[in-house]
Amino acid sequence: MIRLIFIIFLFLPLCVSAAQVHSITAETNRMDEDSLKKLFNLKEDEIFTEEKYEKAKEELEGSPLFKKVDFLYKEEKKGIDIHIKADDGIYIVPMAFAYGSNKHSYGVSLEVGNLLKKGEEMLFSVGGSKDGFETHSSLNLGKHYFYGSYSRLDFEQNFYGNGWESTKGVFNSTQDKNKSGRPVLAQTAGKQEDIIFTYGYKISNLWSAFLTPQYEYYSYQDGVLDGGNHSTLGFALQYNDGFSLVMDMHSLDDLALSKKEAALKDLPHLKTGKAAVISYTAGGDWTGSDYEIQKISAGGAYLWEFKTRHRIAVFAKGIRALKAPFSNQIESSDLLFGMGIYDRQQRGKGGISGGLAFTYFLVRNKDILLGLTPFYEQAYVTSGNDSYRPHSGAGAELTFRWWPIHIPVSINYTQNLSDGDHRFGFKIGRHF
């Protein structure tokens, strides 16, 4: 008992003396003070630590809303006073492109930031081809994230030997039936209508939660497959510590203009980051679906950023469809990480995957960033028994980014190591 009392009195002064954030003030060109304080992930009356402070600074500096952000903090008797001086403005970035495949794909996008002086970031995009069209829109507002998309697609579903089938999408399949010498074993025409809405909430500096209702409707020629309503509701919990799972692998869109000065300097030491996500998706009568659907997935990533700013990232993922009709089974494109571009893929009831990417900055100066990212990714898909069919790919992506515009443009070469197919294409931002 005496020892317990001694321990309490020994550590009590340490707990009492822990510094708190007393006040946070802000000075901006355009945004109001309260909006900037909401974007800063350290709040008044929180316990102050150097680690929390540095992470909050880094995240605010990572926003494309600012040309420069300066921080000043003083330790007073009442706690820590922090002052933020931000050189903010408005940005409007329109883009348009065409893709010269046999599908005649095209796309336009508009990115707008700080238009309402609330520090919001908005994205609008639309893409189309002879197969149909897709639209995307998103709003990032402090702790709140909103995303919506609508697509209407006509497609041919081709089936090949060893479980392979053609991918579908506005920018995906070349529809070359005899490519790589693989004959088509079966084929059907299909239509897909898809409406997705996602709401995300940032619980803390590290954790975010997402809710995603999705309406999906399929119809197939002659009713050969599972046409009808495939609506679902999804839940996800995501952990991010210095690394985002949506960096698209080229590692250039996370470097905002306000980070320009720092990004042109070498790091004092090796920097690491990690991320993880777990999700559950379900559908049935309660969602209006004609089918029982249950899928779970979990994935993670780890990043090493060297002193010279070059990066290595490793990824892993696993997905299982507990209940799913054919159209909602696991596809190898669900397991892979958006690094490669493929004409064909595997389908089954579950799978696991892993990936590796290395980003080397060929050019890193005051005007542009030019990065080369060789990658390798491997997925194994099972139909429910003990056998797994592989889908692996390797290639490289050359990515260009002009500092004032944080949307990168990439040229991608992918070799499908399992199928023998290869693709040469390009990417713009995160949707095209």
SS (H, E, C) 338-386: CCCCCCEECEECEEEEEEEEEEEEEEECCCEEEEEEEEEEEEEEECCCC
State the average pLDDT for the chain: 82
Residue 37 has φ and ψ, to the nearest 5°, of -65, -30
Mean pLDDT of 242-259: 47
Cα 71 from Cα 56, distance rounded (Å): 11
What is the structure's pLDDT at 414?
Answer: 92
Residue 196 burial by CB count (10 A; 0-12/13-18/19+): exposed, middle or buried? Answer: middle
Residue 96, pLDDT > 90, answer: no
Token look-up 């893409």 returns: 127
Summarised one tens digit per residue, pLDDT across range 408-419 is 788 889 999 988
Domain end, chosen from 60, 88, 116, is at: 88
What's the number of domains the chain is made of?
2
Which comes out higher in pLDDT, residue 359 or 253? Answer: 359
Whether residue 82 sits in one domain with residue 105: no
Summarised one tens digit per residue, pLDDT across range 106-124 is 888 888 888 888 888 888 9
Mean pLDDT of 25-41: 83
Cα 254 from Cα 240, distance rounded (Å): 13
Whether residue 221 sits in one domain with residue 79: no
The answer to whether residue 8 is domain-embedded is no
Cα 310 from Cα 304, distance rounded (Å): 8
Question: What is the number of alpha carbons within 13 Å of residue 78 lying toward its C-beta?
Answer: 7
Which comes out higher in pLDDT, residue 317 or 387? Answer: 317
Whether residue 189 sits in one domain with residue 114: yes
The answer to whether residue 182 is domain-embedded is yes
Whether residue 130 sits in one domain with residue 83: no
Q: What share of the chain is helix, strand, coil (3-state, %, to 5)?
A: 15, 55, 30
Summarised one tens digit per residue, pLDDT across range 139-160 is 988 789 999 999 999 888 888 8
The total number of residues shown for the chain amounts to 432
Whether residue 20 sits in one domain with residue 99: no
DSSP, residue by residue, 192-234: EEEEEEEEEEE-SSSEEEEEEEEEEEEEEGGG-S--EE--EEE
The domain spanning residue 32 has which CATH number?
A: 3.10.20.310
Confidence of residue 429 (pLDDT cuts 50, 70, 90): low
Whether residue 411 sits in one domain with residue 281: yes
In terms of Cα–Cα distance, which of 403, 425, 230 is closest to 343? 425
The answer to whether residue 5 is domain-embedded is no
Whether residue 107 sits in one domain with residue 76: no
What is the structure's pLDDT at 378?
Answer: 95
Summarised one tens digit per residue, pLDDT across range 343-354 is 888 999 999 999
pTM for this one?
0.81
Whether residue 217 sits in one domain with residue 160: yes
Mean pLDDT of 153-182: 72
The domain spanning residue 213 has which CATH number?
A: 2.40.160.50
Whether residue 144 sits in one domain with residue 41: no
Cα 307 from Cα 123, distance rounded (Å): 33
Cα 392 from Cα 389, distance rounded (Å): 10
Which comes out higher in pLDDT, residue 80 or 135? Answer: 135
Domain end, chosen from 57, 88, 119, is at: 88
Whether residue 321 sits in one domain with residue 231: yes
Residue 253, pLDDT > 50, answer: no
Mean pLDDT of 418-424: 84
Domain end, chosen from 63, 88, 113, is at: 88
Q: What angle do CA 266, 271, 275 make, to 5 degrees?
A: 135
3-state secondary structure of 50: helix
What is the structure's pLDDT at 339?
Answer: 85
Summarised one tens digit per residue, pLDDT across range 261-283 is 666 777 788 888 888 999 999 99
How many helices, marked H, and strands, marked E, lie in the chain? Answer: 5, 24
Confidence of residue 11 (pLDDT cuts 50, 70, 90): very low
Whether residue 209 sits in one domain with residue 164: yes
Q: Which of 45-54, 125-134, 186-195, 254-263 is predicted with the least confidence, judged by mean pLDDT?
A: 254-263
What is the structure's pLDDT at 363?
Answer: 86
Domain that holds residue 77: 14-88
In terms of Cα–Cα distance, which of 137, 103, 133 is closest to 123? 137
Token look-up 């079966």 returns: 186
CB 26 within 8 A of CB 69: no
